[in-house]
Amino acid sequence: MKKLYLFSFLLILSAINIFSQSGWFWQNPLSTTAKFNEIQFVNPSTGYSCGWDANNNRGFCIKTTNGGKSWIVVAHANATAFASLKFINNTGYVVGYPNLWKTIDAGNFWSILPLNTATSPFWPSINFVNEYTGFLNGEINIWNNLYKTTDGGNSFSTSSPGISAGVLKVFIVDANIIYLSGEFGLFSRSTNIGNTWNTQQISPYYQLRSLYFTNATTGFICGNGYYANPSPGRIYKTTNSGNNWTELILPLRPKSFSEMEFTDINNGYAIGDSGCVLRTVNAGVNWEVMRIAPNQLLNDIALMNFDSGYVAGNNGILLKMKNQGSSFETLNYAYRKNFNSVIMVNDILGFAVGDSGIIMKYCDGIWYPGFNNNTHKLNSVDFADSLIGIAVGDSGVVIKTTNQGTNWFSEISNTNLSFNSVQFLNNICYVVGDSGKIVKSTNLGISWYSVQSNTSTNQNDILQQNSNTVYIVGDSGLVLKTTNSGNNWVNLPSGTTSNLNSISATSFDTIFIVGENLILKKSTNGGVSWANVTLPLSQITLNDIVFTSTSVGYITGDFGRIYKTTNFGANWGYQNINLTNNINSISFLNSNTGFIVGSGGMIRKTTNAGGIILGVFSNNENIPLSFFLYQNYPNPFNPVTKIKFDIPNQSIAKIIIYDLLGREVTILVNEQLKPGSYSVDWDGSGFASGVYFYSLVTNDFVETKRMVLIK
């Protein structure tokens, strides 16, 4: 269900995301193969983990406030791997190529800090003495790569340990004593918070990936064979501050050890390749194998106490360790069931609902899991204002909140039929569902009564034009209309028997409906008659339609399809977002910022109206006689211009943009097109002012024209 947009609304300013992107960008879920690089808990309930999601091409930081039962994404960045994190109370740092991110409010907001270093390596590790003083070290093969800050990351200076190797790990004992490990078996110690260093070599052919000291003198260091000596992992121990090291006898030596952590001088764990977890209860004299899992790489461990902790690794491994390592629980770090409806209440508040009773709340840029006692599928959600909202679903479920979704309670619906859509208009709320079921409230859901629809057909969506005029669409081409507040309903012939899923309006008489089999119909006389509107690409089910102004509208469908119009619904193009999920619902805050939700827990966001439009098919039935490339309009332009072209026969066509030097800037269209007239928008907001050229290229035709971007 979507809001009815009144087009005299004030433009709401959306918050600026420091990770802003073009088009529709990822919000949820992390993929099942996400790599978790580091994990830390600041108390038994609150923890953080960061890593890299290759499938979504982004780094991420997730947070739990209930001991790992559920997680939310608190930071993410496109094409940036997050390698390491450190939190001290509410102040936290996340590091990855090529920047450092900082929060001072437990992850609600992040800023990017400049790194005034000589190089921009991939930063694998960070550690802080306190909120202001910390150390940052760089990638393998970048020697002597240790940097120090004393002002909370605002500036960094070189803290040279004087080693001809890359620094891999920094361990802070107290405000003065710092230890580090690195390549070529090198170990270094500082007793004056990194001003000077004492370095030695433990084993020349080993990468010493991690170290842990239980006090100022007793510590452990681990790693794996290096380059010409790819031998299995080792653990060494010192009892004299690293002056001497002894290799420990192990019951199992995986390919590598990644991390160690101790709860006291005797009790600790080591983790690594092959899903290996080793435990010692006597300061490393003996070790016991607690877990082994081939083809798994564990990267980090965070202990709550010797009995329990958390383990993070590659390929989506996020575990809770119990019973001193004798059992491990797999944690669910992302919701992957279907979302069926989304509504943005205002610029900082929104909700998405879906299968198994899931409710997600969008607050200040972050999606949080909400909780209610219902486990039935939720199909639709709408809000009357920022406080009062209703969600409906299968088996007659109607739930209500009066406090911005903090709590939800059940409303009595007296039916087991599924409800499919809910919509508020001021104090009036309609709910429609299967077998012609309609219920209505005139007091914000305090009381309800049934409305007779005189049909047994399933109803899927509702549109309130005003308190008197209401439309309903449903299965088998059903379109109902009332002009007397639901007392009587007229069945309007839609000209289709396909199931209709959504309805929207740009004016009192101009109505659009969408449904199965790529059905899009338009009425300009209040539903008395309907005209088919042609859409490009193959037939799919269309699930939702919404307009953000009288001229601009969006349609979402299965297999990641999004259509957009910018000319009052006369022509529609599609937005290529490289998505295969079904898109079930769409909602906009303003003309630029919106969200889509769908199958597999998919949530995506746009801050630029979804980006460029491709393949806009002309609904003129006259097929062009020849190829033709029109002059762009407007020209000059700032920042968007429209490029129109004709295709007389089925062809693979490209629209390519070049700069003044003839360098390819972008490809707007690259697809097989049917005969027709097309147009595509080019947004030049990310490009410099100047002269550009655009070309239509097919196997049989090439033409180029000039255009001017002026800012």
Most confident of 15-29, 80-94, 195-209: 80-94
Q: Give the position of tokens 């990194």.
A: 194
Token pair of 197, please? Answer: 């260093």
**pLDDT at site 57:** 81
* CATH architecture for the domain at 339-441+457-592: 7 Propeller (2.130)
- % of the chain with per-residue pLDDT over 90: 64
What is the end-to-end Cα distance of the chain in Å, rounded? 39
**pLDDT at site 119:** 52
* CATH architecture for the domain at 100-305+317-330: 7 Propeller (2.130)
- pLDDT over 70 at 3, yes or no: no
337-361 confidence digits (pLDDT tens): 899 999 999 989 999 999 999 999 9
pLDDT mean over 83-100: 89
Enter the pTM of the model: 0.73
**pLDDT at site 26:** 83
- Report DSSP letters for 82-134, one per residue: EEEEEEETTEEEEEETTEEEEESSTTSS-EEEP---S------EEEESSSS-E
For residue 13, name the pLDDT band (cuts at 50, 70, 90).
Answer: very low
389-405 confidence digits (pLDDT tens): 999 999 999 999 999 99
pLDDT mean over 76-104: 88
Q: Give the position of tokens 């998505």.
A: 579
Question: Max CA-CA distance within the chain?
Answer: 91
The alpha carbon torsion through 397, 401, 407, 409 (nearest 10 deg) reads -40
- Mean pLDDT lowest among 64-78, 394-408, 601-615: 601-615
445-485 confidence digits (pLDDT tens): 999 999 999 999 999 999 999 999 999 999 999 999 999 99
**pLDDT at site 12:** 21
- pLDDT over 60 at 230, yes or no: yes
Average pLDDT over the chain, rounded to whole? 89
Give φ, ψ of 477 to 5 degrees.
75, 20
**pLDDT at site 150:** 93
pLDDT greater at residue 474 or residue 111: 474
* Distance from C-alpha of 587 to C-alpha of 542, rounded to nearest angstrom: 15
* Distance from C-alpha of 231 to C-alpha of 6, rounded to nearest angstrom: 69
285-320 confidence digits (pLDDT tens): 999 999 999 889 999 999 999 999 999 999 999 999
Superfamily, domain 620-709: Macroglobulin (MG2) domain (2.60.40.1930)
pLDDT greater at residue 116 or residue 91: 91
**pLDDT at site 229:** 64
Q: Please report, for the chain, the start and end positions of each structural domain, with discontinuous segments joined by +.
A: 35-99, 100-305+317-330, 339-441+457-592, 620-709
**Quick check: do 100-305+317-330 and 620-709 share a fold?**
no
pLDDT mean over 266-295: 96
**pLDDT at site 377:** 96
250-262 confidence digits (pLDDT tens): 999 999 999 999 9
For residue 612, name the pLDDT band (cuts at 50, 70, 90).
Answer: low
- pLDDT over 50 at 188, yes or no: yes
**pLDDT at site 142:** 54
- Mean pLDDT lowest among 179-183, 299-303, 585-589: 179-183
Task: List all residues 6 or more positions away from 656 whose beta carbon is below 8 Å from its beta carbon.
Answer: 664, 666, 667, 668, 694, 695, 697
